[in-house]
Amino acid sequence: MPLLVFAAVAFDSASRRNWSASAVAAALAVALYVTYVPYLNWIRSDVRLETADVVLGLPLAWLGGAAAIAVASGKVSLRLPGRRVAATSVVLLVAAMPAAALAHDPGQGEETSNARVTATAAGPRAQLHVDVAESPRGCGDLEPRRAVARRAGEVTSGPLRRTARCTYRGSVALPARGRWFVYAEFRRGRDRLETWVPVIAGTASPRTELRSLYVPPSVSSPLVKTLSGIAMYGVFLAIALRIGSLYRREAARRLAGSRAAGAA
C-alpha cells in the first residue's frame, strides 16, 4: 500500500472537520514525516533523514502546505491572469528541462558491467571490496583511481588498489556518523567509471550488494544546478496555482448554476 495513503487519510479527516488551512497543513506534514522518516531510515538503503533534516523540513512542509491549501480553497487570491500563469509555466518548464540531464545521482549513467561491492564501516573508515564482473571488454584495462565517500556536499577520498584480477580494495574516512555513499572510481582509457554502495558509519556488519559499474554523466556547476532546481520548483508552484484557479472557477460556476436553478 503506498505510504501516501496515510497522508491522504490525514488530509481528508482534517478537511472533513473544517479545520483551518494551517491546521490541515500541519496534519498533512506530520503524517508525511511520521510515515516516510521511518521508511527511509530503516527500510530504504539509499536515503536517510537525520534529526536536523526533520527539524528544518517539517516547518517548511507545513508552511508550503498551508499556502497551497489557502490558494486552492480561494482564501488567498493572487489575481494572476490565466494566460500569464500559463506562459510563466511554459517558460519555467523550458528552463527546468536541463536539470534532469545535469543531475548526477548515485547509480546514474551508462552501465558497462556489474560489480559486487562490499563495504564495512565499523570504525572511522569504510573498508571497500569490489569484485568486477567479467565483461566482453574484460577488466584488465580498468585502472583503480580512488575510494570516495560523499554526503550532502561533503567529500572525502582514500586509496583504491587492485589486489587480483578484477578485484579491488580501498578505504576512505567517514568523518561523522550517519549514512554515506561510498564510491569506487576507476579509469578506462579516457572514460571515468564508478560504482557505489550506501553505508552507515558505525555499523559493524558488512554490506554487500550487486551494483552497476557505469560511466557517470558530466556534472553541472553548483550555480547551474541551483538555478535549475529553483526553476523546477517554480514550475510546480505555477501548476499548483493554476489548478487552484481552475478549481475556484469551477466552484463559482456550479454555485451560480445552483442559484439560478433555485430562483427558477
**What pLDDT digit, counting tens, does each position of 52-91 carry?**
778 888 888 888 888 777 766 665 554 544 444 444 444 4
**What pLDDT digit, counting tens, does each position of 137-159 carry?**
667 788 999 999 998 778 999 99
pLDDT at residue number 52: 76
Query: What CATH class has 110-215?
Result: mainly beta
**What pLDDT digit, counting tens, does each position of 156-169 carry?**
999 999 999 889 99
Which segments of the chain belong to CATH 2.60.40? 110-215
167-173 and 160-164 as β-strands: parallel, antiparallel, unpaired? antiparallel
